[in-house]
């Protein structure tokens, strides 16, 4: 199967991959496919160029954007396909139901995890891609792990569950980990995580209190606050008001 055909097959199957095409320089039209496990198919004609193209493909397939790149005297186009981003919600609470509904409307794939099987049910979370009634470490494994396109929201307010989830999520490749709770609760949580042996640098990566400052009060408004933050993080933005922003509002790929 050609690199082009394999890329089309992966795209149709909602898989992550990048197809690099040489569009300028010797060997125009050559293609290299790079899969999310690092395996490749095809060649651009030189090992050094293949290696540079694979690095660009690895970067862009997880950034989830297609882009033109210049490598020496050659110009490449990196075409990326990726599934919708995942939002993993820890805690089968009312906030989680509202968050799943909003995430689904925004084109994300929401998952709900909670060991309390009486709460973690499909009936309570119809918008979730999957509802897993298991302890955090097992639950994360059952949904395929936490990769670089996964965003985690911990909503339980239960230290036993929060700490178990955060100790796994903060050590994972997850693009974002956030947790509910007051600033005082965050300080107590930080002390517990340090006592569990979690590194200070990892704890500092926790987004807590979770969400943007919208003045949210209801579960629906809180869900909007959380989704606004994860979308901003995914797009490399701070999440401030557009009227106060400088530069381009929308990024335009090369």
Whether residue 92 is predicted with pLDDT greater than 80 in this model: the reply is yes
φ/ψ (deg, to 5) at 151:
-120, 130
112 domain residue, yes or no: yes
Task: Work out the pLDDT band at 14, boundaries 50, 70, 90.
Answer: confident
- Mean local confidence (pLDDT), 62-82: 93
Does the pLDDT of residue 198 top 70, yes or no?
yes
> Which of 145, 114, 151, 107 lies closest to 131, judged by CA?
114
Q: Based on the domain organization, do 102 and 59 belong to the same domain?
A: no
Beta-strand (E) ranges in the chain?
Answer: 17-24, 31-35, 40-42, 67-71, 74-81, 86-90, 109-113, 130-132, 150-154, 176-179
Q: Are residues 96 and 214 in the same domain?
A: yes
Range of the domain at 46: 3-81
Is there a single domain that holds both residue 113 and residue 205?
Answer: yes
* Residue 47 belongs to some domain of the structure: yes
Characterize the bridge pairing of strands 109-113 and 40-42. Answer: unpaired
User: Based on the domain organization, do 49 and 159 belong to the same domain?
Assistant: no
> Tell me, what's the pLDDT at 253?
46
Q: Among 142-146, 183-187, 218-222, which is the least confidently predicted range?
A: 183-187
Last residue of a domain, one of 81, 112, 147: 81
Q: Are residues 63 and 96 in the same domain?
A: no
Helix (H, G, I), strand (E, B), or coil: what is residue 41?
Answer: strand
The answer to whether position 95 is within a domain reads yes
The residue out of 58, 81, 104 marking a domain boundary is 81
| pLDDT higher than threshold 50 for residue 9 | yes
- Do 185 and 116 reside in the same domain of the chain? yes
* Over residues 117-141, mean pLDDT: 95
- Do residues 90 and 129 share a domain? yes
| Claim to verify: residue 8 and residue 67 sit in the same structural domain | yes
- How many independent structural domains does the chain possess? 2
Percent of the chain's residues with pLDDT above 70: 95
pLDDT over 90 (residue 58): yes
pLDDT at residue number 254: 42
In a domain, 185, yes or no: yes
- Is the pLDDT assigned to residue 184 strictly greater than 80? yes
């Amino acid at each position: 199967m050609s690199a082009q055909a394999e890329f089309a097959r992966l795209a149709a199957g909602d898989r992550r991959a990048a197809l690099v095409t040489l569009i300028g320089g010797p060997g125009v039209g050559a293609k290299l496919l790079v899969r999310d496990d690092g395996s490749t198919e095809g060649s651009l004609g030189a090992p050094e160029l293949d290696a540079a193209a694979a690095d660009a493909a690895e970067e862009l397939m997880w950034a989830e954007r297609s882009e033109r790149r210049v490598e020496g005297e050659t110009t490449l186009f990196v075409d990326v396909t990726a599934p919708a981003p995942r939002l993993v919600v820890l805690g089968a609470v009312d906030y989680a139901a509202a968050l799943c509904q909003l995430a689904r409307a925004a084109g994300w794939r929401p998952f709900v995890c909670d060991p309390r099987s009486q709460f973690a049910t499909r009936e309570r979370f119809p918008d979730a891609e999957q509802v897993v009634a298991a302890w955090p470490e097992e639950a994360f494994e059952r949904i395929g792990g936490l990769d670089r396109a996964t965003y985690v929201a911990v909503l339980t307010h239960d230290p036993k569950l929060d700490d178990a989830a955060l100790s796994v999520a903060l050590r994972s490749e997850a693009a974002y980990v956030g947790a509910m709770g007051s600033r005082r609760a965050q300080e107590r949580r930080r002390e517990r995580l340090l006592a569990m042996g979690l590194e200070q640098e990892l704890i500092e990566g926790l987004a807590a209190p979770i969400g943007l400052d919208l003045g949210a009060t209801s579960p629906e408004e809180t869900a909007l606050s959380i989704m606004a933050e994860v979308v901003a993080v995914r797009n490399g933005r701070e999440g401030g008001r557009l009227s106060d922003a400088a530069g381009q509002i929308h990024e335009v790929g090369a």
